[in-house]
A and B are shown apart, each in its own frame.
Chain A
């Protein structure tokens, strides 16, 4: 029996798909091996997992061993203790703040907010910068002039001041802050970098080969240009997280947002009622949120730097004259 030619074609394309996937997986594995060689990157990854763990454990604890009337981050209050704030104890592992809330519970709840802000703004920024920069670099001409004109304007807008201005207009919540921040970052400096990268890729030989093989502009942009922009997008995403979380914390520190439970507002509460010696000192209510902001941002920054080292061929470890 002769094999069905149609069937054979489909099987060969299947095997091609499998092989391609295998190649992609090998590349991923290779990148992961390279990433593992950077101790700072691994520290960052570990910290991110630690904060993820905090985020996951909080609802579990609230539903099992923590009584909501005492440990709820918004309305919890421990009536057994005479004075708030208190120092760390067995019942409250990080103490309570001046308003009687448990700090560990607040900290875990705040991790949720930081992750949401960071991830939303990173996705917004990367989508915008990749599309704008990619289109401007790839198509050139009038689109390039208009899009780069826009990013020339957006690079001049300082994010904090724009957010403060908008804060008088609308009630800022975590998602509006992160989307506005993402737009400012994505349309500003990031799209200019992406455009430069696209221009460099456009002159590569494999793009010409794809053109000779009859690929349309659309096909070339989505199948050959965009995958090449992914490494840059990862680095930009991670760096946007740092900026977004710091900006959001500053805004909630100045109480310009409508979210009452973030790390920034915890610092604000602690610092408004701060006493140096009276009532046993209050560093226990200030240090945990501040350290969390720092460690969270450092974690993403370290991961970003390490991935930059992997993806940027000029930074790859070589034998260096020393």
Chain B
């Protein structure tokens, strides 16, 4: 087992290095570099190149970069010159996480619950319309969908603000910066999600439906009021609410765009599981259909969907460029876009390597997890 894990990690390392060299090679093929975008005399250009480290040949630049990468130094961005890349990543990460991570999680919950329902009620109009709706949402053109939602709910109905991260009248003389509040909103959201999950796990064993849902509701309201009191105590509750208010439109667009895929995948895996014999057994035992659906079918069908979630999660970091541009939500996708425009090598390489490394870690984690879970694989490995 240990031997397999070491072998897998080594292979992952080789994959990561190949991935980085392909990316670096793609950037290096270009006949010009970042200094071409500056108005400089030839002498100044050479000076700028030597300052940025662009005067070495391509392979040498790559080796220097790789060496720095393995010393956990991502270099300095060319566009915002003395700023290190990791600072840019840390500065934009809260925005990306707040929008795209929460959207991904919401979309997965929505997709899984809807997929469960349509796989169970097969052949009805509900399944037909939800399938068509899911396909339409999955294939809809992201900029257009964002544009429609922005125009209808923002510009026409005036329900939600649009094209801004915050309202400047509220933030007029706020004592803290937007990124500070943003990161604390992200932390609060993660914290509350974990606690809610815990509550649901604890109350699962309660027999009485009324007591179960009553205690769940009580717990949720307790946490909600706790968070509200805490935010008001530090005095930034209004600011956090303003951010959430501005989040509404982009969040709903991303959720609408991405729930269809999960729903259809969940439906497919549910249908595959429904043909298993233990489902027939459960039916023969006389279990109520709801219990069969939730405990026997959905839980087994959930694994491939969870795998997909884990593998897609790192790509959340680059986000959806179209959504960011339409809603003017300056996050990591826009940063990458701009970096590509201006040949900002350290920034492109830094962000994409981060995403690549996280994805690879996800793959390796899943491989090892499957090895633990599936005895057949374990046996084949030993042989």
Partner-B contacts on A (CB < 8 A): 39-40, 43, 149, 152-153, 155-158, 160-162, 164-166, 168-169, 242, 246, 249-250, 253-254, 264, 267, 271, 274, 276, 286, 290, 293-294, 297-298, 301-302, 305, 314-315, 318, 320-322
Whether A164 lies near B340 (C-beta < 8 A) is: yes
Whether A298 lies near B340 (C-beta < 8 A) is: no
- A residues within 8 A CB of B11? 149, 152
Q: How far is the CA of A321 from the CA of B341 in the complex (A)?
A: 56
Q: A149-B18, A169-B26, A294-B141 are in contact. List 14 more A-B contacts (CB 8 A).
A: A39-B128, A149-B14, A153-B18, A156-B356, A156-B359, A168-B341, A249-B141, A250-B142, A250-B143, A253-B143, A290-B144, A314-B275, A322-B120, A322-B289
Closest to A296 in B: B139
B30, B135, B292, B322: the one contacting A169 at CB < 8 Å is B30
- A residues within 8 A CB of B318? 158, 161
Closest to B322 in A: A250
- A residues within 8 A CB of B27? 165
Whether A290 lies near B141 (C-beta < 8 A) is: yes
- B residues within 8 A CB of A153? 15, 18-19, 22
- Identify which of residues 136-160 in chain B touch chain A, using a CB-to-CB cut-off of 8 Å: 136, 138-144, 147, 151, 155-156
Whether B143 lies near A271 (C-beta < 8 A) is: yes
List 20 contacting pairs A-B, 8 Å CB cutoff, sorted by A: A39-B128, A40-B128, A153-B18, A155-B359, A156-B359, A165-B340, A165-B348, A169-B30, A246-B139, A250-B321, A274-B151, A290-B140, A293-B139, A293-B144, A294-B141, A298-B135, A301-B139, A314-B275, A315-B272, A320-B271
Whether A158 lies near B140 (C-beta < 8 A) is: no
Closest to A245 in B: B139
Whether B336 lies near A320 (C-beta < 8 A) is: no
Q: Smallest CB–CB gap between B179 and chain A, Å?
A: 24
Whether B128 lies near A165 (C-beta < 8 A) is: no
B45 in contact (CB, < 8 A): no
- B residues within 8 A CB of A318? 275
- A residues within 8 A CB of B155? 276
- A residues within 8 A CB of B352? 161
Whether A165 lies near B26 (C-beta < 8 A) is: yes
Whether B136 lies near A294 (C-beta < 8 A) is: yes
Query: Which 7 A-B pairs rank lowest in CB-CB distance, beginning with the nearest?
Result: A297-B139, A290-B144, A156-B356, A321-B283, A152-B15, A293-B141, A153-B18
Q: Smallest CB–CB gap between A9 and chain B, Å?
A: 46
Question: Residue among A156, A165, A249 with the most chain B CB within 10 A?
Answer: A156
Whether A156 lies near B15 (C-beta < 8 A) is: yes
Q: How many residues of B contact A (CB 8 A)?
A: 56
Whether A276 lies near B140 (C-beta < 8 A) is: no
Whether A161 lies near B340 (C-beta < 8 A) is: yes
Chain A, interface SS category: helix
Q: Smallest CB–CB gap between A179 and chain B, Å?
A: 16
Whether B135 lies near A315 (C-beta < 8 A) is: no
Q: How far is the CA of A264 from the CA of B142 in the complex (A)?
A: 11
- Identify which of residues 335-371 in chain B touch chain A, using a CB-to-CB cut-off of 8 Å: 336-337, 340-341, 343, 348, 352, 355-356, 359-360, 363
B122 in contact (CB, < 8 A): yes
Closest to A286 in B: B144
Whether B122 lies near A320 (C-beta < 8 A) is: yes
A43, A160, A165, A169: the one contacting B321 at CB < 8 Å is A160
- A residues within 8 A CB of B275? 314, 318, 320
- A residues within 8 A CB of B131? 40
Whether B15 lies near A149 (C-beta < 8 A) is: yes
B274 in contact (CB, < 8 A): yes
Closest to A253 in B: B143
- B residues within 8 A CB of A315? 268, 271-272
A156-B356, A161-B340, A162-B26 are known contacts. Are A305 and B264 too (CB-CB below 8 A)?
yes
A149, A152, A294, A321: the one contacting B280 at CB < 8 Å is A321
Q: Smallest CB–CB gap between B292 and chain A, Å?
A: 8
Closest to A293 in B: B141
Whether B144 lies near A298 (C-beta < 8 A) is: no
A267-B141, A321-B279, A322-B120 are known contacts. Are A302 and B19 too (CB-CB below 8 A)?
no
Q: Smallest CB–CB gap between A321 and chain B, Å?
A: 5
Q: Smallest CB–CB gap between A52 and chain B, Å?
A: 18
Q: How far is the CA of A242 from the CA of B140 in the complex (A)?
A: 11
B132 in contact (CB, < 8 A): yes
- A residues within 8 A CB of B292? 321
A157, A274, A294, A305: the one contacting B140 at CB < 8 Å is A294
Q: How far is the CA of A68 from the CA of B110 in the complex (A)?
A: 50
Q: How far is the CA of A152 from the CA of B8 in the complex (A)?
A: 12
B39 in contact (CB, < 8 A): no
- A residues within 8 A CB of B19? 153, 156-157
- A residues within 8 A CB of B360? 156
Question: Residue among B26, B155, B275, B322 with the most chain A CB within 10 A?
Answer: B275
Closest to A292 in B: B141
Q: Smallest CB–CB gap between A241 and chain B, Å?
A: 11
- A residues within 8 A CB of B15? 149, 152-153, 156
Q: How far is the CA of A185 from the CA of B322 in the complex (A)?
A: 21
- Identify which of residues 219-273 in chain B touch chain A, using a CB-to-CB cut-off of 8 Å: 264, 268, 271-272
A152, A158, A254: the one contacting B315 at CB < 8 Å is A158
Q: How far is the CA of A157 from the CA of B292 in the complex (A)?
A: 40
Closest to B15 in A: A152
